[in-house]
Amino acid sequence: LTITATDKESGLASSPYSFDGGSTWQVEATKTYTSNQTVNIWVKDNAGNIEKQTVEISKIDTLAPTNVTLTKGSVTSSSITVTASATQNQMGIRGYQFSIDGGAYLTEQTSVSKTYTGLSKNTSHSFKVKAIGKNGKETESSTITVSTNDISVPTYSVSPSGDIWATSKTVTITYPGTKTENLVYEYSKDGGSTWTSVTTSSVSVTFTSNGNVIARVRDTENTANTVTASTLTVTKIDATKPIIQVGSTITILQGTNYDTMTGVSASDAGSGIKSLTASITNTASLAVGTYTITYTATDYAGNVITTTRQLKIVRKTDSLIRNGYIEYGDNTNFPDLNYVSESGVEFLRSSTNNEKIFENSDFIPIESSKTYYQEITIRTNNSNSFNYVGFKEYDYDKNEIRAANVAYVTGTLTTLSKDLNPGDTVIYFTDLSKFAISSSLPYYNLGLIFWNYKDSRGYQYPAETYSRNYSWDLYNYNQINKENHTITLKRPWSGQTMKVGTEVSQSSDGMVYNYGLIPGSYLPVGVWKTYSNTITGTTTWPNQDLNKFRHATKYIRFFCLENYSYAGHTPVTGLKTDYRNFIFKEIN
C-alpha cells in the first residue's frame, strides 16, 4: 500500500506515515500487506496536524495449489512421459517443476507434461511434480513409479528346416512386442555391414545359397537398448544341378538283358545324389532298332538334370566275334577299320600304303577241347597284296601267347642243381648233355625257358607246355660246359631267383601267330572270296598245327597281317582291303 501526501505550510513530519492508526510511524510511504484487512492511515505534518484515512485491502491470494497429482503418459523402452494436474481457484497455476528418481526439480515449465528420454529399457523410475501458483505458493505431488518397456529379442523360423536339403530356404524373422516410434526393426545378411529396415512385425528373407542372417531391434533414442538376436546360419541349400556321366552308344544283340546303368554315374557336390534312373531298363524285349535312353539324376535338394544315350539293338548271330556280320552297322569291335555300305552290302575296309596289322577288340573265350569253325570273306583292289589271317592266342590272364612261350629245343629238359640268384654269372644244371652247341645257333637258342610259370590263379603249367619265364641271348655257344653241366652267362643274371630243382629247357622260337585261315596268300581283286577252317585240340611243340590251339590258350582275337613286306616284295600303296563275315563259332 503506498501513501501519497503533501503539506504546503509546515511540511510533512520526518516520520509522517502511520499504517496502524498512529501506533507506529515510519519514513516510508509504502507498506506491504499479505492479507485482506482494513488499514487506518495517518499522515502528520511538522505542526502536528494529522490527516486520517481508512483503506480497505482486498483480493490478496494466499492459497497454495491443491489436488496436485502426477499420472503416467506414453512409455517406450527409452522414454517416459508424465502429466501433472493441479487446481488453484483464485489466481491459478503459474507452472510446474518435475523431478526424477529423487533428483532436483527441473526448471519451471508451463506445460503440464514432461518427457524423459535416453532411459534404459525395462528400468523402474520414480517421479514427482511441484505445482506453483501465480501467487508463488507451491505444492508437491506424491511419488509415482513408472518402468520403461522391455525390448523382445527377434526370433527365427526356417522353412524347410535346417536339416533338410533344398534349392532355397525362407527365414521368417518375427519381432515380438509392440513397436513404438523409437524402435527400428532391422536385419542383415552380411554380418552387420548393412541393414535392411522392416516396417511390419515379421519379414521373410529368402536364401538361394548358404548364408547368415542377424536380426535386431534398434532403439533410436538409446542405442544401448538395442537387442540383437544370435546369428542364424542357413545351410543345406543346393541350387546346382547334379552332373551325369554316360558312356558312348550301347550296342547289344537282340534279346540281351543289358544293364543300361553300366558306365553311368552321377555326382553332386552339394546335397548328394538321391536317385539316378534310366527310362529303359528292360532291353531283352526290345526289337532291332535304335532307342534313346533318358537318364535322370535328382539330388537331395530337388535339383534335376537329364541326359540321353543311344541304345542300338542289333540282330543276334551265331558268330562269337561281335559285329562279325557287321550287324552293328558300324566298326564296333574293329576300331582300325572303317564301316562302308555300298549297294546294300555292309563291310569293313582297311586302307593302307604299308604293312598293317589289326585285330578285333574283344577277347573271345574258347575251350581247347571243343571244335570251332572260322571264316572270313575278303576282297582287295590290288593283286600284289600278300596277307596272313588267323587269330592271336591269350592265356588265362589275357597275356598274349607267342611261340617263345611254348618253344624249346627238344630233348634238353633238365633241372637246376643250384639256386640261380640275381647277380650270378654261372648257372648249374643236373644235365646239359642234350643241349645244342653250334656256332650257327640263332640268338633265341642261346637262352633258357624255365617251366615254373604260375598264372594269377596260382596254377603252374607242366614242363614243356607253357611259360612266360624265358630269356634269350644269355650266353655264347662255347660257354656251355657239358662236362661240368654249367653255363657261363654273358652278363650277370638280372631276373628273379630260380630255385634249385626248377625244370628248364634250351629256348627256341617259331611261328608268331596262328595263320590257319589264310597262311600267307595273295588276295582276289574286286571279287569276294571266302576262306575257312576248323580248330580243335591242343598242339604240342615242336608241332605248330594251324588247326589246333597252343597250350594255355583261353582267349583269342581275330588277327590280320595285310600288305606283308618280305624280301623281294614291296608293300602296295593305295591298298584297300574289304572284310565281311568274321565268323568264329563252336560247332561241337
For the residues of 1-24, what is the DSSP string, one character each? -B-----SSS-EEEEEEESSTTS-
Tell me, what amino acid is at 454? Answer: K
Whether the CB-CB separation of 126 and 144 falls below 8 Å is answered with: yes
Provide the 10 A C-beta neighbour count for residue 508: 23
Residue 217 exposed, middle or buried by CB count within 10 Å (0-12, 13-18, 19+): buried
C-beta of residue 399 within 8 angstroms of C-beta of residue 552: no
Sign of the Cα pseudo-torsion (404, 405, 407, 413, in order): positive
Q: How far apart are CA 24 and CA 11, in angstroms?
A: 19
Q: Whole-angstrom Cα distance, residue 544 to residue 61?
A: 150
Phi, psi (degrees; rounded to nearest 5) at 223: -60, -25
- Name the strand (E) or helix (H) holding 252: strand 250-253
Q: Which residues contact 390 (CB under 8 A, 6 or more apart)?
A: 513, 514, 515, 516, 517, 518, 519, 546, 559
One digit per residue, pLDDT tens: the chain, 588 residues? 899 999 999 999 999 999 999 999 999 999 988 888 899 999 999 999 999 999 998 888 889 999 999 999 999 999 999 999 999 999 999 999 999 999 999 999 999 999 999 999 999 999 999 999 999 999 999 999 999 999 999 999 999 998 999 999 999 999 999 999 999 999 999 999 999 999 999 999 999 999 999 999 999 999 999 999 999 999 999 999 999 999 888 888 888 899 999 999 999 999 999 999 999 999 999 998 899 999 999 999 999 999 999 998 888 788 899 999 998 999 999 999 999 999 989 999 999 999 999 999 999 999 999 999 999 999 999 999 999 999 999 999 999 999 999 999 999 999 999 999 999 999 999 999 999 999 999 999 999 999 999 999 999 999 999 999 999 999 999 999 999 999 999 999 999 999 999 999 999 998 888 999 999 999 999 999 999 999 999 999 999 899 999 999 999 999 999 999 887 788 999 999 999 999 999 997
Triad 552, 556, 559: Cα angle to 5°: 130
Query: Cell 652267362 maps to which residue?
Result: 489
Buried b (16+ CB within 10 A) or exposed e, 533-549: eebbeebebeeeeeebb
Whether the CB-CB separation of 167 and 95 falls below 8 Å is answered with no
> Can you give 269-290 as a three-state secondary structure string?
CCCCEEEEEECCCCCCCCCCEE
| DSSP-based helix, strand, coil % in the chain, nearest 5 | 0, 45, 55
Q: Are strands 250-253 and 304-314 parallel, antiparallel or unpaired?
A: parallel
Question: What is the pTM for the complete model shown?
Answer: 0.55
Phi, psi of 224 (to 5 degrees): -65, -20
Residue 513: strand, helix, or coil: coil
Whole-number pLDDT of residue 569: 81
What distance in Å separates the CA atoms of residue 80 and residue 148, rounded to the nearest whole number?
7
Backbone φ, ψ for residue 405 (5° rounding): -80, -15
Q: What is the full DSSP assignment across 539-581?
A: --TT---TTSBPTT--EEEEEEEES--BTTBPPPTTEEEEEEE
CA–CA dist 482, 429 (Å, integer): 9
CA distances from 196 to 178, 190, 207, 233, 585 (A): 19, 11, 15, 18, 79
What confidence score (pLDDT) does residue 504 get?
99
CA distance 462 to 483: 28
Q: Which amino acid is at 533?
A: N
| Nearest partner of 118 among 77, 74, 83, judged by Cα | 77
